[in-house]
Structure 1
Amino acid sequence: MELLSSLDTLHVSLILITLLIPLIGFKWFSFGSKTKKPSPPSPPRLPIIGNFHQLGPSPRESLRDLSNKYGSLMLLHLGSVPTLVASSAEVAREILKTNDLVFSDRPNLSIPNILFYGSTDIAFSRYGEYWRQLKSIVVLNLLSSTRVKSFRQVREEETHLVMHTLEESRGSAVDMSALLGSYTSNVLCRVAFGKTYYELGFTDKLKKFVDMLGTFCVGSYIPWLSWIDHLSGLRGRAHAISKELDHFLKGVVDEHLNKEIGGDETQTFVDILRDIQKDKTLGFSLNTNTLKAVILDVFVAGSDTIFSSLDWAMSELIKHPKVMKTLQLEVIEIGQGRPAILEEDLDKMKYLKAVVKEALRLHAPLPLLLAREARDRVNLMGYGIPPRTQVIINAWAIGRDPVSWKEPEEFRPERFLNNPVEYKGLHYEFLPFGAGRRGCPGLHFAIVLIELILANIVYKFNFELPNGVKDVDLDMTEANGVTVQRKNPLMVMASRRF
């Protein structure tokens, strides 16, 4: 009986094994099919901090150098956060076009959450219905072509003030960087608020805000070490800056609460958002914090990026006198001796547009585009990418990639003549304003500001460097930050051309 029992047990075991083998094989095959996609190449990492030690003082350059070794799509581990880095037009196209919806989210970051009212703005809010409706409202009501044109008088008046300052300098040294910074800030203030706020130090407040935005927050990448951000005072400083700017914005918004728009007066951004806030038919609740978050977006996205683009374009023109001369000839021909270049003249200036594009290629205003986050698992360039993986597009490296650009380190505006490459995010070798769903919606507003002031400056003035410094010796050292700005201000001496 014991033998029979043993045989029965063996028989049952054999049957079970026979049944389990196909199941095990199926599971193995299924597991293998799901995991057969490898991860992108990745440099060795350290415990806890991952690859942070390899970013160096200039992350855009460090990431470019790493990509030369590990490939144009590589995987880094920033603390506990897996992060893809794209450094070529081909990879950028796969992320920003082919898989744009998958990579349309934003990561949850501590500092933007503090500064932008829980990331309720357009730039940092998570992808979803809230973001879609908010972006639609902003694009249609604040940044449409009609709305941008409505602020023409503001741009022309501020351009005239720059011309007047240069004329009054009478050949003495002028801080062109400061002058262009004031132009940008004044236009944005008048467009958003209706006036400037020198007496309240708004520009200084905004600078502290932007600097804080670029500060490294340990807790965003190594959550269990978030106590360091409290101990170092980082979060406290962020809250203090946020409170200071919030107090300022609250005062401005209250000023516009019962403001009457009379005659031909143009509505400011705050006026428009206030009207939207009162409109109960939209099906979207625009509360006051969201309104303030959107206004901050306008300044953060506009002030530093437009200013740095202008500063670098002017620097490159002075460093390359032949390019300056060619541009002046074009502007003179179209200006025909009139007192100023007008906005309707800009479409005729092909070389001006080439100069601006070339400056933006070499000096991408946001060298590392705002990080995205994968919403789902995706196959990217043959690699398996899990959800919640962050993505960084190195626009600075892509703009200097020899695969896409001949002599990429040279300033040659001619490369954009008879060239279909545009700003709109359809050409992935050129991404000064990003692309896809999360691309910058204010590019038209920015380009008009840049082109108008540059055209008028070179139309009216010739420039030299102080102290007998030759054009070719102009210091072009870059500073590190959220945007890439000149390390030292651009000092010039201006002389009237006519």
Structure 2
Amino acid sequence: MLLFHFGSRPVIVVSSPSLPEECFTKNDIVFANRPRLIIGKHLGYNYSSLAWAPYGDHWRNLRRISSLHLLSTHRLQTLSSIRADEVKSLIRFLSSKQNQMVDMRQSFFELVLNAMMRMIAGKRYYGETDADSEEAKRFREIQVETFTLSNTPNLGDFIPIMKWMGPKRTEKRLTELHVKRDGFMQNLIEEHRKTLAIDDSNERQGRKKNMIED
């Protein structure tokens, strides 16, 4: 095991098979909290989302809701056809690219996001279907910006004084991205509300619900 200091933050490198059990089984509560990085403040709703919330009653409640409505056996089985369909779509894409270079990391990234968004909103944003729409382009731009900012080190996270002395450009970009992400998801919710308001009840019963409709 190695101990580093990234500025004011201690970082432990878990380098042997026995250490993960020690950290995440015997002392799991000690290591349960995520560091309070600036990205969690702006994209994690001030550290209140499941990925960023500190261990406690709020986190346990979020985990219970997720287990019941997102990860239950019934929910996973109900939406299994979406995952299978996206895997088939990837296989067809790879078959069409014989003897050509393919970025598998990007392909799997798109597979996961398509499956996730089809389960959440019934839409896919990569590939041939609807990939050229303005909504799809907006979604992809948001994802690129999210991963770019997530992978951009912020000195203020490791040297606290830099939060006050350093430039505020990263925080401004995170604030703007938060508004974009919220606006995109709110548009999806409003769109489904309008659709449900005009859909015939028999038509709704004949198709599988996505997570927004549930």
TM-score bracket, normalised by the shorter chain, equals 0.7 to 0.9
Deviation at 1:209, TM superposition (A): 0.5
Please state how far the C-alpha of 1:176 moved relative to its aligned partner: 5.0
Match of 1:214 in 2: 151
**Residue 29 of structure 2 contacts residue 55 of structure 2 at CA under 8 Å; is this kept in 1?**
no
1:94 aligns with 2:22: yes
- 1:84 partner SS: strand
CA deviation map 1:444-475 (0-9, x unaligned): xxxxxxxxxxxxxxxxxxxxxxxxxxxxxxxx
Which residue identity lines up with residue 205 of structure 2 in the other structure? G
Aligned equivalents of 2:96 and 2:36: distance in 1? 49
CA–CA separation in structure 1 for the residues paired with 2:4 and 2:152: 19
Partner of 1:108: 36
Superposed, 1:218-237 pairs within 5 Å as 218-229=155-166, 231=167, 233-237=169-173
How far apart in 1 are the matches of 2:87 and 2:5? Answer: 46
1:245 equivalenced with 2:181 (yes/no): yes
Which residue in the other structure is 1:154 paired with?
82
Q: Cα distance 1:163–1:83, how it changes in 2: closer, same or farther (>3 A)?
A: closer
SS in 1 for 2:117: helix
For the 8 Å contact 1:209–1:242, the answer to whether it is kept is no
Aligned residue in 1 for 2:207: 265
1:80 paired with 2:22, answer no
C-alpha spacing 1:168/1:104, structure 2 compared with 1 (3 Å):
closer
The aligned counterpart of 2:102 is 175
Residues 87 and 157 of structure 1: CA distance in aligned 2, closer, same or farther (over 3 Å): same
Does the CA contact (< 8 Å) of 1:154 and 1:190 recur in 2?
A: yes
* Structure with a larger share of its residues in helix: 2
Using the alignment, how far apart are the partners of 2:12 and 2:48 within structure 1? 25
User: Could you tell me how far apart the structure 2 residues matched to 1:82 and 1:180 are?
Assistant: 33
Work out the CA distance in 2 between the residues paired with 1:76 and 1:127: 24
Contact 1:154 1:191 in 2 (8 A): yes
- For 2:178 and 2:80, the matched residues in 1 are separated by 31
User: What count of residue pairs does the alignment treat as equivalent?
Assistant: 198
> 2:193 aligns to what SS in structure 1?
coil
Q: In 2, distance between residues paired with 1:267 and 1:228?
A: 50
What CA distance in whole angstroms lies between the structure 2 residues aligned with 1:107 and 1:232? 20
1:145 equivalent to 2:145? Answer: no
Q: Secondary structure at the match of 1:146?
A: helix
The equivalences for 1:6-85 within 5 A come to 72=1, 74-85=2-13
Contact 1:166/1:174 (<8 A) preserved: no
Q: Deviations over 1:357-384 (max 9, x none)?
A: xxxxxxxxxxxxxxxxxxxxxxxxxxxx
- Supply the distance in 2 between the matched residues of 1:239 and 1:190 (Cα, whole angstroms): 27
1:253, CA displacement in angstroms? 1.9
Q: Distance in 2 between matches of 1:226 and 1:179?
A: 37
Calculate the aligned-residue CA RMSD, in Å: 2.3
Shift of 1:124: 1.1
Give the counterpart letter for 1:249 in structure 2: M
Measure, in 2, the Cα distance between the counterparts of 1:208 and 1:188.
18
Deviation at 1:113, TM superposition (A): 1.0
Shift of 1:78: 1.9
Kindly report structure 1 stretches of 4+ aligned residues shifted beyond 6 Å. none
| Higher relative contact order, structure no. (Cα contacts within 8 Å, ≥ 6 residues apart) | 1
Structure 1 residues 203 and 94: alpha-carbon distance in aligned structure 2, compared to 1, 3 A threshold: same
1:217 positional shift: 1.6
Distance 1:93 1:182, change over 3 A: closer
Alpha-carbon deviation of 1:128? 0.8
SS at match of 1:135: helix
Give the CA deviation at 1:145.
2.0
Q: Tell whether the 8 Å contact from 1:75 to 1:82 is kept in structure 2 after alignment.
A: yes
SS of the aligned residue for 2:34 comes to coil
Query: Following TM superposition, by how much is the alpha carbon of 1:149 offset from its aligned partner in structure 2, in angstroms?
Result: 1.3
Q: Percent identity?
A: 25
Distance in 2 (CA, whole Å) between partners of 1:90 and 1:166 is 39
Contact 2:44–2:51 (8 Å) recurs in 1: no
Classify 1:107/1:176 alpha carbon distance in 2 versus 1 (closer, same or farther; 3 Å). closer
Specify every segment of 5 or more residues in structure 1 that has no aligned partner in the other structure, as ranges. 1-71, 273-498
Distance across 2 between alignment mates of 1:93 and 1:173: 42
TM-score after normalising by structure 1:
0.37
